[in-house]
Amino acid sequence: MTAVAAVLRSGDGPFTLEEVEVDGPGPGEVLVELVATGFCHTDTGMRAPFRGTPLPAVLGHEGAGRIAAVGDGVAFSVGQPVVLSFRYCGACRSCNQGATSYCDTMMPLNFGLHRGDGTTAFSRNGEAIGSHFFGQSSFATHTVASATSVVPVRDDDPLDLIGPLGCGIQTGAGAVLNNLRPWVGSSFAVLGSGSVGLSALLAAGLSGCERMIAVDLSDRRLEAAIDLGATHAIQAGDDVDLGSALLEATDGRGVDRIFDTTGNGGVVAAAVGGLAMRGTLATVAASGAAETQISLRHLLPGRTVTGILEGDSMPQVFIPELLSLYRSGAFAFDRLITHFPFDQINEAEAASNAGDVIKPVLVMPS
């Protein structure tokens, strides 16, 4: 069959909407008709030269839609509503322990842009186009997804909203609820108040944190953080001693749990100076400035610095939990979302990069 896909042909070029040929689903795969797809910072990050992204390719990894066909060995049914998340093997030691976000083959499965046999699900006039980004490549009206990327949802779940649960929102909320686990009355700080950071802030509110501190360069994002429950806002900058600012916001005690989304080693090192005794800082990113130096003296009082992938989540378990919280009114992630028509994908990317929106979601043509 054919579909319309947003194809990235060069690292510094725009996404171009093209009619592409789509394979039928093979063993362990499903064909999904997309309703909407979130635009994540990781999609933009694939432009970076160090990624070595094989182009042309179809990106997108926060898809939501309905199953249109199933391959051999797949238990899902046609018409079933689904969210698409990251791909994992399901057979390695980590997967067998339920730690699917630390799958032994996480990197090739999610960033290889092809099936295990080297083929791609998309092509155009005989030209292979990269597919299976995060097991899904959902910047398309139809895509072939790996079965482990598929999370069934309820018929009444809003498919135009819930795609970002597959990555960005799952990453932020999961880091807090599955890993950092702040407690009632504890303090929490988020470094970077984009969609991942603000999802974490919403989860910290669910945990009963007494002080919730948002740090960002952008006034607009700090205002959004306050609107979502932050009790303190720190505008970052070269003239700001972040460790001291965090200590001041907690009356000198330090922050119990810090969540970093910047991936900047200098920011992380400065924030460690604002950790409470036995406090934990977790990061989910690594930017071009990812190297850091942390004094062992900062770690001796029981402080921990760690990394987290995909919110320590098993998507098939955690995404339904987040949806249950959303339906109850306790997790209002929809307040982060701005919709764009699919053909405005480049405008959505620009708005996200400029900080004009928190979480763009692309809506497919009906």
Please answer whether residues 99 and 109 qualify as being in contact, where contact means their C-beta atoms are separated by less than 8 angstroms.
Answer: no
- Tens of pLDDT, residue by residue over 350-359, are 999 998 999 9
pLDDT at position 342 over 80: yes
Segment holding 317, helix H or strand E: helix 315-327
Which amino acid is present at 363?
V
* pLDDT score at 168: 97
Can you give 99-125 as a three-state secondary structure string? CHHHCCCHHHHHHCCCCCCCCCCEEEC
The residue ranges of every structural domain in the chain are 2-166+332-363, 172-308
Of the candidates 133, 131, 107, the one whose C-alpha atom is nearest the C-alpha of residue 286 is: 107
pLDDT at position 51 over 90: no
Query: Token pair for residue 282?
Result: 């977790």
Work out the number of other CB atoms within 10 angstroms of the CB of residue 339: 14
Side-chain half-sphere CA neighbours of 365 within 13 A: 8
Q: What is the mean pLDDT of residues 173-198?
A: 97
- Candidate from 14-23, 253-262, 293-302, 311-320 with smallest mean pLDDT: 293-302
- State whether residue 260 is helix, strand or coil: strand
Would you call 281 exposed, middle or buried from its count of C-beta atoms within 10 A (0-12, 13-18, 19+)? buried
Contacts of 23 (CB under 8 A, 6+ apart): 119, 121, 122, 144
- Beta-strand ranges (E) seen in 239-336 are 255-260, 275-283, 304-307
| Interatomic CA distance for residues 244 and 271, integer angstroms | 9
Please answer whether residues 287 and 41 qualify as being in contact, where contact means their C-beta atoms are separated by less than 8 angstroms.
Answer: no
CATH number for region 2-166+332-363? 3.90.180.10
As a whole-number percent, the residues of the chain with pLDDT over 70 amount to: 99
CATH number for region 172-308? 3.40.50.720
Contacts of 70 (CB under 8 A, 6+ apart): 25, 29, 30, 31, 76, 77, 78
Q: What's the pLDDT band for 288 if we cut at 50, 70, 90?
A: confident
* pLDDT score at 297: 87
Q: What is the mean pLDDT of residues 84-94?
A: 97
Q: What is the mean pLDDT of residues 253-280?
A: 96
* pLDDT score at 50: 58
- Tens of pLDDT, residue by residue over 12-47, are 999 999 999 999 999 999 999 999 999 999 999 898
Q: What is the mean pLDDT of residues 53-79?
A: 96
* pLDDT score at 203: 98
Average pLDDT over all residues of the chain: 96
